[in-house]
Amino acid sequence: MTFEANLQSLAARWSPSARWTVLTGAGISAASGIPTFRSVEGLWKNFKPEDLATPEAFARDPRRVWEWYDWRRQKIAAAFPNRGHEVLASWSQRQSGFRLITQNVDGLHERAGTASVIRFHGSIWEIRCAESCGGPGSSWTDPRAPLPELPMRCPDCRGLARPGVVWFGESIGADVLARSQEALDCDVCLVVGTSSVVYPAAGLASVARQRGAWTVEINPEPGAADVDLVIAGKAEEVLEKIDALIQRD
């Protein structure tokens, strides 16, 4: 099938009552100027994400891990949602069965107006006591970028604080897993802008497919996701084209 025919076949499945679930990764935010993790410009001081986003890295050098997050927070704070985020937000408002699961911690889907985002890996804007001291101020949303002190400290116990994100080797929260599993009962599952190498997120599309969803990958360098159809292209361009093809209700 041609590129145009692929877009048509996806757009033809859209209806206000269809259940579409979209899984996104860093590629959806690339056009907003936020580097993806596994691109050259995404590397910070030549560290791989697997060398920074772990409890072990934080225990070894909390200041370095915080510097990386502060660098990403500043990039995100200066960014805006792009057309890809906007199209998905408009679908979330026009389709009652729409669900969005994102691996991104940047909050751009929410800023674009997407209803009830499932944040698989947490939020970079949330900070909590690394020791789980349980004090009343030990978990908070912090919009400051740059942050005033690195490493950040818990205001209650003065121990280390950490970003409210999921690190390699940590479990996904039970509530997030349950909501994600429920969202995988869908008619169409779109996998957008992820390298599909980090589990368990990378396995979600396969579950949707096994349950009967028609699965589609949108990525300029596709290949890793278990899907029925591949649309090779940038999310912000492909989603805009599909939106233009969808019959207005």
Question: Where do contacts with ligand OAD occur on this chain (CB under 6 A)?
Answer: 25-27, 30-31, 36-38, 42, 49, 53, 103, 121, 166-168, 193-195, 198, 219-221, 234-236
State the Cα–Cα distance between residues 177 and 16, nearest whole angstrom.
Answer: 26
State the DSSP code for 203: G
- Smaller CB separation from ligand OAD, 99 or 234: 234
**Of 72, 109, 119, 121, which residue is the catalytic one?**
121
Quote the least distance from Cβ 178 to ligand OAD, whole Å. Answer: 19
**Angle, nearest 10°, between helix axes 3-11 and 235-245?**
60
State the Cα–Cα distance between residues 55 and 59, nearest whole angstrom.
Answer: 6
State the Cα–Cα distance between residues 70 and 99, nearest whole angstrom.
Answer: 30
- Smaller CB separation from ligand OAD, 156 or 240: 240
- Smaller CB separation from ligand OAD, 105 or 246: 105
Contacts of 234 (CB under 8 A, 6+ apart): 27, 30, 31, 84, 220
Q: What are 75's two structure tokens?
A: 């990039």
Quote the least distance from Cβ 77 to ligand OAD, whole Å. Answer: 18
Helix (H) or strand (E) holding 161: strand 161-165
Is 121 catalytic? The answer is yes
From 220, 190, 218, 236, select the one nearest 83 (Cα to Cα): 236
Catalytic residue annotation:
121
